[in-house]
């Protein structure tokens, strides 16, 4: 049975590139080394595909040819005054590049799912600068790992084993040579594996970061507790952080999606900057989708901005809060939407998603989703990383080329080809 | 009873979504509210009972389950359309809505059905046609 070595997992931002996939007669029979989620995806997702090309007519779906659906999609976009092109974090960089060209052609907005996950971290970088690291540095060098507002045992299942707390690095090997700290509002499954767990009060992470910064500078904290944590514990953690050789902070949506949002990350970056006056510290966001980092990178190098890019003035503009998809939808400003490899109808608050019911929506996705159910044109695509190759960016910005493991069914095309054909049709209509 | 609602990824939610958002496996994983045992006792609900979760932004019926990471006063709903019936749309000029730390009211909902994906779309987002 043919075995594909070094297959790349297209699930989370870890983008593990050591999978072995057994393929027989164009069917995936087994997968080794993947986590429980990656395994579920590689083995099962193609079985759950909805292969129907659908167009909504008089309120109801009818099956259509791919050509007819692309024609209808091109008409919707070409007739739109201010379209939103959203998603992109579950497809390849090559497809995203075409998406940017389409947004520019249409004078629309291109936004990716960073808007609802780690976008605040990108905004914080504008405010206070950047301290980054690679997963290789965490694996080989870090002797103190802090997970703050994230739960890798549920969402990034191989992160601790492959890249951090339990990894077999060159200079640090295994769990015994490292300390692990978890800060979270709940005692999560990750917290149970930690040496130190701080249960922060919900929405009070910003205060805790600032208290830690004070403790690191040996300033007196004039309170008994901050954010629900006794000051002695804060001072003990500050001592641990200062006395390690290489520390690594991984942070999650617990920081970006709670009330202080980008200010939480600005405080975290400031803490790491302060620590670098005493010892070596690095940090990274725990990116969720397998190519959300790539969506930021491609949009950045094509337009100068990582997400929420508005072409309506004829040149790229970026102002989260104004040009972000969430705000544009909440204000009812966009008049059509192209959604690629994402499900914003399910993943945005209903009060925002409501606008999708009022505008024409084109959905390109291998699976039927809530967005697909609400769409006017639904085009099934090949699964990136399984049926289509393409470049993906790991959470630390390392690009990896995913492999095609099996051929997609006849007539099912990769996002890159579907978008190229859509772009050509839009250009033709607009030049009439 | 008042709670702080946290939403987020879980293993079964991530596995369920790879089977498709319309799959029963996905609904089973996501249309749930994790509560600490003592909070369930105070609410008078048992695991599997329907509860109604209401925020200033909406309301949804989900199934109560025993929390894996119990913290009294905190309710957890996995990321998805059921959670997003009640999450906050305001972005505070940061572009991101508040998916965590939302004040909600939770009450028993005896006899009420946990809506499936299409029913929930009609209730909380809207339909076409």
d(CA A255, CA A287): 13
d(CA B21, CA B24): 8
Does the pLDDT at position B129 exceed 80? no
- The answer to whether the A50-116+290-385+408-430 and A119-285 domains have the same CATH topology is no
Q: How close A218 comes to chain B (CA, Å)?
A: 31
Domain boundaries, chain A: 50-116+290-385+408-430, 119-285
* Total number of domains in chain B: 1
The predicted structure's pLDDT at residue A142: 97
Which residues does chain A have within 8 Å of residue B21's beta carbon, measured at their own beta carbons?
343, 346, 367-370
- B115 lies in which domain range? 2-125
Q: Beta strand A336-340 with B32-35: parallel, antiparallel or unpaired?
A: unpaired
The predicted structure's pLDDT at residue B13: 85
The predicted structure's pLDDT at residue A421: 98
With a cut of 70, list the residues of chain A below it in pLDDT. Answer: 1
Does the pLDDT at position B25 exceed 90? no
The predicted structure's pLDDT at residue B36: 96
Output phi, psi for A213, to 5 deg. Answer: -60, -40
The predicted structure's pLDDT at residue A1: 65
Question: Does the beta-carbon distance from A185 to B101 stay under 8 Å?
Answer: yes
Which residues does chain A have within 8 Å of residue B20's beta carbon, measured at their own beta carbons?
48, 50, 367-369
Closest by CA to A164, choosing from A179, A149, A154, A150, is A179
d(CA A34, CA A36): 7
Question: Does the beta-carbon distance from A347 to B10 stay under 8 Å?
Answer: no
Both tokens assigned to A325: 């998809």
Mean pLDDT for B32-48 is: 97
Q: Over the stretch B2-24, which tens digit does the pLDDT of each residue have?
A: 999 999 988 888 787 777 788 88
Portion of chain B with pLDDT greater than 70, in percent: 99
| Per CATH, domain A50-116+290-385+408-430 is 3.50.80.10 | no
d(CA B41, CA A49): 42
Q: At B37, which CATH number?
A: 2.40.40.20
Residue listed under structure tokens 């109604």: B52
Question: Does the beta-carbon distance from B84 to A346 stay under 8 Å?
Answer: yes
Q: Over the stretch A27-77, which tens digit does the pLDDT of each residue have?
A: 999 999 999 999 988 988 888 889 999 999 999 999 999 999 999 999 999
* ipTM value for the complex: 0.96
Q: Does B122 touch chain A (CB under 8 A)?
A: no
Question: Does the beta-carbon distance from B121 to A202 stay under 8 Å?
Answer: no
Closest by CA to A140, choosing from A182, A169, A107, A109, is A169
Number of neighbours of residue A82 by Cβ within 10 angstroms: 17
Q: Closest chain B residue to A188 measured between Cα atoms?
A: B69
Least CB-CB distance to A326: which of B68, B97, B127? B97
Among A285, A351, A372, most B C-beta atoms within 10 A, so best to mutate, is A351
- Provide the chain B residues 95-114 that lie in CB contact (below 8 A) with chain A: 95-101
Pairs of CB atoms within 8 A across A/B: 199
Q: Which fold has domain A119-285?
A: Dimethylsulfoxide Reductase; domain 2 (3.40.228)
């Amino acid at each position: 049975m043919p075995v594909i070595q070094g297959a790349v997992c297209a699930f989370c931002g870890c983008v593990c590139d050591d999978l072995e996939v057994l393929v027989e007669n164009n069917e995936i029979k087994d997968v080794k080394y993947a986590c429980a989620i990656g395994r579920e995806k590689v083995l099962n997702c193609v079985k759950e595909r909805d292969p129907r090309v659908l167009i909504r007519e008089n309120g109801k779906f009818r099956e259509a040819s791919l050509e007819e659906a692309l024609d209808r999609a091109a008409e919707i976009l070409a007739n739109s005054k201010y379209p939103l092109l959203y998603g992109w974090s579950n497809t390849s960089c090559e497809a995203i590049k075409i998406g940017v060209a389409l947004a520019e052609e249409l004078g629309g907005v291109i936004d990716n799912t960073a808007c609802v996950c780690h976008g605040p971290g990108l905004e914080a970088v504008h405010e206070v600068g950047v301290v980054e690291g690679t997963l290789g540095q965490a694996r080989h060098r870090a002797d103190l790992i802090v997970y703050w507002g994230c739960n890798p045992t549920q969402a990034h299942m191989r992160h601790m084993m492959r890249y951090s707390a339990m990894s077999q690095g060159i200079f640090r090997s295994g769990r015994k040579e490292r300390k692990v700290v978890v800060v979270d509002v709940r005692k999560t499954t990750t917290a149970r594996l930690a040496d130190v767990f701080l249960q922060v009060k919900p929405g009070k992470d910003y205060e805790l970061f600032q208290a830690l910064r004070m403790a690191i500078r040996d300033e007196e904290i004039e309170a008994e507790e901050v954010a629900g944590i006794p000051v002695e514990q804060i001072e003990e953690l500050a001592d641990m952080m200062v006395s390690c050789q290489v520390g690594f902070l991984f942070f999650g949506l617990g920081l970006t999606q709670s009330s202080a949002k980008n200010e939480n990350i600005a405080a975290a970056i400031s803490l790491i900057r302060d620590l670098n006056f005493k010892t070596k510290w690095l940090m990274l966001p725990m990116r969720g989708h397998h190519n959300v980092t790539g969506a930021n990178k491609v949009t950045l190098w094509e337009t100068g901005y990582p997400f929420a890019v508005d072409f309506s003035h004829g040149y790229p503009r970026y102002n989260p809060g104004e040009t972000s998809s969430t705000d544009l939808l909440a204000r009812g400003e966009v008049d059509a939407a192209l959604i690629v490899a994402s499900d914003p109808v399910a993943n945005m608050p209903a009060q925002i998603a409501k606008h999708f019911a009022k505008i024409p929506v084109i959905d390109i996705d291998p699976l039927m989703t809530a967005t697909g159910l609400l769409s006017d044109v639904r085009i099934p695509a090949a699964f990136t990383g399984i049926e289509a190759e393409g470049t993906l960016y790991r959470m630390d910005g390392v690009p990896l080329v995913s492999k095609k493991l099996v051929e997609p069914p006849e007539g099912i095309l990769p996002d890159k080809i579907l978008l190229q054909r859509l772009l050509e049709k839009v250009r033709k209509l607009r030049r009439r | 009873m008042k709670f702080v609602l946290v939403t987020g990824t879980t293993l079964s939610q991530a596995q369920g979504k790879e089977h498709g958002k319309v799959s029963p496996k996905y609904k089973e994983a996501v249309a749930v509210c994790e509560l600490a045992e003592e909070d369930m006792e105070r609410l008078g609900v048992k695991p599997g009972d329907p509860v109604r979760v209401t925020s200033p932004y909406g309301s949804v019926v989900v199934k109560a389950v025993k929390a894996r990471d119990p913290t009294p006063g905190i309710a957890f709903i996995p990321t998805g359309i059921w959670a997003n019936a009640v999450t906050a749309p305001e972005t505070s000029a940061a572009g991101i809505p508040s998916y965590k730390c939302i004040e909600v009211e939770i009450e028993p909902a005896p006899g009420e059905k946990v809506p499936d994906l299409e029913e929930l779309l009609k209730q909380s987002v809207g339909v076409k046609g």
